[in-house]
A and B are shown apart, each in its own frame.
Chain A
């Protein structure tokens, strides 16, 4: 077994995660975590949909921000995809998608304030970068032959519309629909920094111990995601896209003086602002690195590696839940429900809930990341096993799992896992806002104490870290010859 590169790689990552556990802060610090968890589940079972009208407004805003953000991101991303072959465009896109929606929101909040533009741009900017990358990959896959057969003198646009777009139309549509679902999740969590979406409502209910209100919100959110195929129809899309901007709410007006001050003063490193010049910059940067960036990077990397392996383990445990090769329909239905809930809940919301219940440590973050990502990959792998045809005398039970199925799906399992590595790291960094000492914690503290210059440097470092992991992940996937689909 050890001669397989995939197995060796897995064991190396497992070892790294185990060593990480020695350094990680894993604990349940709440006094009575199980009672709190019980109260929470009681709240989910006794949802209160009518406590305030705020819930429906929050739901409407969540959908509106998602639609406007994803539409703007999709259009920009499409045009970027057309010029994606140029290196500066690729670097630019990698950079804007390496910064999480919540970080973008935190930045825009500082100068646009609680204006709808803050929420729209927070979704649209990183999504443009993601769309650009995936759209360009899809467009590249189109069959080049019809294009070569066109009469010379055919216009570029006509050639593109006739030979490229129709060939990739289905993939473009599927991916955009998947991104819309992600957009709903992003939009929901923007509430945690104060925008009027579901996250805001959830945080308010939780902080007041109104678990039934929070439960109602979560249930509505699942229904919203699960019914996407019913209410997102091609014919209705124009209505949503045109209508959504009118439901973003008014927010507060933009003070343009703030915008100017932000760029000309706030984000200028303080030694430069105070006239200390370059001589003061080095000690400033040094202090920032030692006191904030390095601990932040260390915690982010440790947590990411543990969460990555936990995600893998959970995936391998969860995929049989929906696989046709085991058990009866009742188990599969409950398996589907478990995986849908796990992957529909944004990891940020999961982490928030668990953190409230178990108290601050890395544990809620690991569990949240593993549940969400394991739910996504488990679902994909489970569906993949359903296309496998076993011989009729194949072994049953655990032998079927370990001899027939896992060896067959292991490569795509690793491919998905390494594809999500960068996504897990992005989320890990952002979970710092909830009080875990990853990079997001230091960014958030810097912003809270109006040290925007430091916050910007820390966000840049986070982006670089994500880009680095993305490159490493791609290198490993190429080295192991793993193929991936973008829709994961």
Chain B
């Protein structure tokens, strides 16, 4: 599965509909930026897609979902817990195997934080924590990336670096972004959400930044 075709996506909170019903078709190779005002329903849509593809995706949620007491290594390694037997995972918890250490270290190197490998995530800064969640998604290596504001806590150069990395590693992705410039630069399709509906859906090269601003 690389693309997906979801219809009838709806979500309600306290009896009030916040999303849909809407239909979203994503083909292999689509790198979709979800844009729109905060509260438009982008995060909810990301969660919905995650549920509908039965977790067959690398997810970077806004709240990151890190296990704070565990070091960076284990938080990243969690992306592949399904690939190993229980005994292997249990030993890794106490003493990780060499080949896994190497793989995770390479990923952290790409995210420029290899020196944090054994630091508990609780003691990291906001930006570093965000990169750990991204490393976990990269390590997971699912066919689709679902990311909710993955660069919100990163500074300029690092934000570009991470977006570049995500574009290179995931052929298909849906990324919620509030930064229109970033969306135009690193995604090939823009989906605008307004009041829980798709208000805009165009390839990036046929859009100008001004077209998107009408959503805000």
Shortest Cβ distance from residue A238 to the other chain B in the assembled complex, whole angstroms? 14
Contact: A149 with B63, CB < 8 Å? no
Contact A146-B93, Cβ < 8 Å, known A152-B54, A154-B81, A162-B78: no
Contact A145-B69, Cβ < 8 Å, known A151-B82, A157-B86, A161-B89: no
Contact A155-B69, Cβ < 8 Å, known A161-B93, A162-B93, A163-B78: no
Shortest Cβ distance from residue B146 to the other chain A in the assembled complex, whole angstroms? 11
Contact: A158 with B61, CB < 8 Å? no
Shortest Cβ distance from residue A161 to the other chain B in the assembled complex, whole angstroms? 6
The residue on B at minimum CB distance from A147 is: B65
Shortest Cβ distance from residue B54 to the other chain A in the assembled complex, whole angstroms? 6
At the interface, yes or no: A479 with Cβ under 8 Å from chain B? no
For the complex, give the distance between the alpha carbons of A169 and B69 in Å. Answer: 8
At the interface, yes or no: B56 with Cβ under 8 Å from chain A? yes
Q: Which residues from chain B contact A152 at a C-beta distance below 8 Å? A: 54-56, 82
At the interface, yes or no: B36 with Cβ under 8 Å from chain A? no
At the interface, yes or no: B80 with Cβ under 8 Å from chain A? yes
Number of A-B contacts (CB under 8 A): 69
Q: How large is the interface on B (under 10, 10 to 19, 20 to 34, 35 or more residues)?
A: 20 to 34
Q: Restricting to B69-90, which residues have a CB under 8 Å from any CB of A? A: 69-70, 74, 78-86, 89-90
Shortest Cβ distance from residue A323 to the other chain B in the assembled complex, whole angstroms? 30
For the complex, give the distance between the alpha carbons of A158 and B80 in Å. Answer: 11
Contact: A145 with B81, CB < 8 Å? no
Shortest Cβ distance from residue B95 to the other chain A in the assembled complex, whole angstroms? 14
At the interface, yes or no: A153 with Cβ under 8 Å from chain B? yes
Per-position 1/0 for B131-174, Cβ under 8 A of A? 00000100010100000000000000000000000000000000
Number of interface residues of A (CB under 8 A): 21
Q: Which residues from chain B contact A169 at a C-beta distance below 8 Å? A: 69
The residue on A at minimum CB distance from B70 is: A166
Contact: B74 with A145, CB < 8 Å? no
Q: Which residues from chain A contact B140 at a C-beta distance below 8 Å? A: 151
For the complex, give the distance between the alpha carbons of A153 and B85 in Å. Answer: 11
Q: Restricting to A123-179, which residues have a CB under 8 Å from any CB of B? A: 143, 145-146, 148-155, 157-159, 161-163, 166-167, 169-170
Contact: A149 with B81, CB < 8 Å? no
Shortest Cβ distance from residue A417 to the other chain B in the assembled complex, whole angstroms? 32
A-B contact pairs, 10 of them (CB 8 A): A146-B65, A150-B78, A150-B82, A153-B82, A158-B89, A162-B70, A162-B93, A166-B68, A167-B68, A167-B69
Binding site for A on B (CB under 8 A): 54-56, 59, 61, 63, 65-70, 74, 78-86, 89-90, 93, 136, 140, 142
* Contacts A152-B55, A158-B86, A166-B74 known; 11 new A-B pairs at CB < 8 A: A146-B65, A151-B142, A152-B54, A155-B82, A158-B81, A158-B84, A158-B89, A162-B81, A162-B89, A166-B68, A166-B69
* A-B CB proximity, top 5 nearest: A153-B82, A145-B65, A166-B69, A158-B89, A151-B82
